[in-house]
Amino acid sequence: MTVNLKAPLKKNIINVPGFRFFTFGARIKLKNIKNDIVIVELGKKSKTAAVFTKNKFCAAPVLLAKDNLKSNDPRLFIINSGNANAGTGQKGIEDAKKINIELGRYFSLDPNLILPFSTGVILQNLPVERIKDSFKSNLTKIKYGSNWIDAAKSIMTTDTVPKAVSKKFNLGKYEITCTGIAKGSGMIHPNMATMLGFIFLDAKISKTLLKDLVRYVADRSFNLISVDGDTSTNDSFVISTSNDADNPVITKKDKMYIKLRHNVLEIAKDLAEKIVRDGEGATKFVEIEVKNAKNLSESKIIGKAIANSPLVKTAFFASDPNLGRILSAIGNAQLTDLDVSDIDLYLNNNIVVKNGMLSKRYSEKKAIEAMKSKEFKLSVDLKRGKEVATILTTDLSYEYVKINAEYRT
């Protein structure tokens, strides 16, 4: 069940100079025969910055990747699906290190220059021996992938569609190439975890600004989506640049940086939106805009309070313009000094609540009509500032309960 989402076309996904990948199967889940490992090689000039889950129960690969990122820029990523290596304690960290050491041997590389990413079942140990065996069969003669869609496919778990986006744009006279892949459809399938997002580009940029970029972009893309309000143990978002483009190195927050940031953000937002459209049991895609807020933080808090309310989400599912639930969710967000008698609500740009009360222009018939569509937009006007945030979310359907409840039964 996806909401207006199709797999990307091969011709639209382009290779970024300075990066190569290959993918193979290690039967991480014994039954699986699909490719479940992706290895990404990063050029020698490449730089990487990342943000990781804030879940305190964060997985072993997250801890190791964070640690390895502190020193030198990585030269290799290994991403596996099927097992999250989360809730595995010290053994989980040792397992991830073993894989890095083994992989380092094949590439004559310091294991600390390898970043691991895992997604899949929680509370199970990584099948280290099977992964090592798969290295034997696949790393002596590497078959490089030709299209990143194959990488996107290999990192899928409960996703129904691979997620990849590419873009070329200019910084002055210099052409920049950027490709992103992602996976996730909520923190979802029983014991499954993780949103993973990777963006590769070739623009020359200082490490300090790359770190700024990854945070800025994450906050305005992946951190603005919500399927079920749960942050997984393995969530990771990474931006790597090969520094292979011809532009002069960006070292300041100048026009060139702003333009780069804008374009990378477009890619990230597109990937994030695809995750929501592939959300578990989603039958609706809903944009929740919270505008004229004092600051970005309060617009996010209110947007997520609405997006995460089961009562609001079931009303979305039923195409029921249940405005009381939306107002109540806003009231529950517990913002200091929020004056609810200032609040207006719009459904697809038609006013439905004015100053905290039903608008005189409200038509229930029209509201139901609007919500019957697979996609609609809800706007909250707080009238107390200038900031705006848009949260993307889904409804809560029978299918959601089914997917999440019927796995074992």
Stretch that binds its own copies, among 80-88, 174-182, 257-265, 284-292 (CB under 8 A): 80-88
Q: Which of 23, 194, 283, 393 is catalytic?
A: 194
Contacts of 46 (CB under 8 A, 6+ apart): 18, 19, 73, 75, 240, 241, 242, 243
Q: Round to whole Å and give the CA distance between 117 and 65.
A: 8
Q: Round to whole Å and give the CA distance between 304 and 307.
A: 5
Other Cβ atoms closer than 10 A to 105: 12
CA angle at 18 for the pair 52 and 14, rounded to the nearest 5°: 85
101 vs 405, which CB is nearer to its own copies?
405
- Contact with its own copies (CB under 8 A) among 4, 108, 341, 349: 341
Q: What is the footprint of its own copies within residues 85-114 (CB under 8 A)?
A: 86-91
Provide the minimum distance between the beta carbon of 187 and its own copies in the complex, in angstroms, as a whole number: 7
Q: Any binding-site annotation on 409?
A: yes
Provide the minimum distance between the beta carbon of 383 and its own copies in the complex, in angstroms, as a whole number: 14
Q: Round to whole Å and give the CA distance between 20 and 220.
A: 28
- Contact with its own copies (CB under 8 A) among 330, 380, 382, 392: 330
Q: Any binding-site annotation on 280?
A: yes
Q: Round to whole Å and give the CA distance between 296 and 299.
A: 5
134 vs 194, which CB is nearer to its own copies?
194
Contacts of 50 (CB under 8 A, 6+ apart): 65, 69, 115, 214, 236, 237, 238, 239
Active site residue 283: no
Q: Which residues of 30-40 are buried (b: 16+ CB within 10 A; e: fewer)?
A: eeeeebbbbbb
Q: Is 404 in the site for its own copies (CB under 8 A)?
A: yes
By rule CB under 8 A, what count of residues binds its own copies? 70
For residue 245, the Cα-to-chain-centroid distance in whole angstroms is 26
Stretch that binds its own copies, among 44-52, 122-130, 161-169, 269-277 (CB under 8 A): 122-130
Torsion-angle region of residue 232: left (phi > 0), alpha (psi -120 to 50) or beta? beta
Stretch that binds its own copies, among 99-107, 108-116, 131-139, 327-335 (CB under 8 A): 327-335
- Residue entry with tokens 């931006």: 239
117 vs 257, which CB is nearer to its own copies?
117
- Contact with its own copies (CB under 8 A) among 94, 175, 212, 230: 230
Q: Which two tokens stand for residue 216?
A: 């800025």
Q: Is 7 in the site for its own copies (CB under 8 A)?
A: no
Q: Is 311 in the site for its own copies (CB under 8 A)?
A: yes
Per-residue binder mask for its own copies (CB under 8 A), 189-228, x = binder: -xx-x----------------------------------x
Contact 215, 173 (CB under 8 A): no
Provide the minimum distance between the beta carbon of 101 and its own copies in the complex, in angstroms, as a whole number: 23
For residue 203, the Cα-to-chain-centroid distance in whole angstroms is 22
DSSP secondary-structure letter at 55?
-
Other Cβ atoms closer than 10 A to 116: 28
Contact 202, 244 (CB under 8 A): yes
Contact 184, 159 (CB under 8 A): yes
Q: Is 187 in the site for its own copies (CB under 8 A)?
A: yes
Tell me the pairing of strands 285-293 and 375-381.
Answer: parallel
Q: Which residues pair with 5 in a beta bridge?
A: none
- Contact with its own copies (CB under 8 A) among 107, 331, 366, 384: 331
Q: Round to whole Å and give the CA distance between 95 and 72.
A: 22
Q: Is 356 in the site for its own copies (CB under 8 A)?
A: yes
Contact 195, 215 (CB under 8 A): no
Q: Any binding-site annotation on 157?
A: yes
Q: Is 319 in the site for its own copies (CB under 8 A)?
A: yes
Q: Is 54 in the site for its own copies (CB under 8 A)?
A: yes
Q: Is 256 in the site for its own copies (CB under 8 A)?
A: no
Provide the minimum distance between the beta carbon of 116 and its own copies in the complex, in angstroms, as a whole number: 19
Provide the minimum distance between the beta carbon of 38 and its own copies in the complex, in angstroms, as a whole number: 23
Provide the minimum distance between the beta carbon of 230 and its own copies in the complex, in angstroms, as a whole number: 6
- Positions at the binding site for substrate: 157, 183, 194, 280, 404, 409
Interface residue list for its own copies (CB under 8 A): 54-58, 84, 86-91, 121-124, 187-188, 190-191, 193, 228-233, 309-311, 314-315, 317-320, 322-325, 327-335, 338, 340-341, 353, 355-358, 368, 396-398, 400-402, 404-409
Catalytic sites, residue numbers: 194
